[in-house]
Amino acid sequence: MTSVWQQPWFVPTLVVVIGLPIALIVLTEITSTLHRRGNPAHKVTRLLRTYVVPAGAIALLLGEVTRALDSRDFTWTNVVATIFGFLVILAVLNTVNLALFTNASKGSWRDRLPSIFVDIGRIILIAIGLAVLFSVVWGTDVAGLFTALGVTSIVLGLALQGAIGSIVSGLLLLFEQPFRLGDWLDAGGVRGRVVQVNWRAVHIDTGNGIQIMPNATLAGASFTNLSRGGGSFTVTTTVSFTTDDPPAEVVALLQRVASALPQLAEGSAPVAVPLGGTDYALSFDTRGPALEGAALATFRGWLWYAARRAGLALDGDATDDFVTPERTERAVLAIAPTLNLSAEDTPALVPLVRLERYAAGEVVLPAGVVPEAVRFVLHGAVSLGATLPDGAVVPVTRVEAGDYVGQTALTREVTSTNAVALTEVAVALVPTSTLDDLVRVRPRLAREFGDVIERRRDQARAALAG
């Protein structure tokens, strides 16, 4: 009589009875550990624990039972074995994807490999796995199938060589990856940001819609990747004034306005040159092509206000309905209480006051300069900010209608804060010489200005200390 351990079913049964629980416990612990650490490999181990290992155990036991009964009907055994084979193929695909692509280093060939190549590789692995599975489990002859597929591929390749050539050119372009999602391209007059890349075409957002450009077209032509220019992007624009405007003043105005743009690249300096006649060219560097539109919009808005303040005729028009004698007189009446003026004193001040407007975001008064006048806010709001050594700006206080900036004009001290318009701001400028005459006969006004200087100086120190 044959011993139990010598039976052919003993070893497989022992493997299932003892090995299955141990394997499940080990895989459970590994899965939990990987999941806590955020490792994507926990998905593969969970697949093994939940499906692959139990299906393998069932297939093993069912095969031994079928063999022990000497049954010729292997249908259910083959079905279970096929299911187990499918799960093994799935686990292999997930493992390969995890090992090669999930943790790929940025810029490596694995990171640059287009998704279409990955999909083709998956299809090939699935086809090979299915062929082996059906050949081993069901005894299917797959050699004829592969031969037929090979002949069919050759025929289709010859018939569609033009179309396939274009697709292959596009795929090679994707593999080289001269651009990525978010890059800005200039290709054949099409300029915009890449929003989608697939095996057939590149989708470019031009600002006026999505331009779909076939990969083969890009592969066969030259284009410019605007996002790979060293981190900055040069913006060029042309503006017009009049022949009566002094070119030196126009050039200085253009460079001054462009230098204050928030989109300006660090360390760059705008350059303006006259082109002859009424035209001037301005170029400046932004921190990337994506900021070009915002930079130009901000510049043109600020330039309108700056040209009016400088008395220059932007686009041949120097008219400004804001600056009128009536509005100047109303502004003087509004600031008269702050200057301790009586109704009889205001008419003499009207010819000395100048009105100005600033756009939102413009610098009304920079830090580190001695103001030539005190600016009384008529409407709008101004933010005072102190600059840290690293260039960051710390808000200090907010100045609104009825208050003023540039109070150190009276003491001839440099300003310690930047005054930036939060909205469109209208101010009334009282020159320093006029203030000197006022404080000589009004000592109280000098004390009030001194108190404001000290208060704002303390606010700036507190903001910087905080």
Distance CA 187, CA 178 (A): 13
Q: How far apart are CA 252 and CA 250, in angstroms?
A: 5
Give the helix/strand (H/E) hosting 67. helix 53-68
358, β-bridge pairs: 425
Whole-number pLDDT of residue 6 = 57
Task: For residue 307, report the phi and psi dihedrals to the nearest 5 degrees.
Answer: -65, -40
Please say whether the dihedral angle defined by the alpha carbons of residues 197, 203, 206 and 207, taken in this order, is positive or negative.
Answer: negative
How confident is the model at residue 245, as a pLDDT?
A: 93
Residue 275, SS3 per DSSP = strand
The series of mean pLDDT values per 10 residues for the chain, 466 residues long, is 58 77 89 88 88 85 70 70 86 83 65 66 81 77 64 56 59 72 81 80 84 79 74 87 93 94 89 93 89 90 94 88 90 89 84 93 91 93 86 86 90 89 94 89 86 86 79
DSSP bridge partners of 421: 382
Rounded to 5°, the CA angle 189-168-176 comes to 65
Residue 8 sits at the vertex; the CA angle it makes with 6 and 11, to the nearest 5 degrees, is: 80
Give strand pairing partners of 350. Answer: none
Would you give the distance in Å from CA 32 to the centre of its chain? 35
Distance CA 192, CA 208 (A): 9
State the pLDDT at residue 229: 63
Q: Find the length of the chain.
A: 466
**Cβ-proximal residues to 305 (8 Å cutoff; 6+ apart), any chain:** 357, 358, 359, 362
State the burial class of residue 256 (Cβ atoms within 10 Å of its Cβ: 0-12, 13-18, 19+): middle
Q: ∠294-313-427 over CA atoms, to 5°?
A: 70
The CA distance from 395 to 418, in Å, is: 9
* Cα 386–Cα 270–Cα 277 angle in degrees, nearest 5: 135
Distance CA 358, CA 386 (A): 20
- Residue 310 structure tokens: 């400088």
Whole-angstrom Cα distance, residue 167 to residue 198? 11
List pLDDT tens digits, range 222-235.
787 877 766 678 89
Residue 382 · residue 421 · CB < 8 Å: yes
For the chain, give the percent of residues with pLDDT over 70.
84
| Rounded CA separation 421/4 (Å) | 93
pLDDT at 310: 92
* pLDDT single digits (tens) 351-396: 999 999 999 999 999 988 999 999 999 999 999 988 877 777 888 8
The per-residue pLDDT for 1 is: 45
Q: According to DSSP H, which parts of 69-204 are helical?
A: 75-97, 109-112, 115-137, 143-159, 161-176
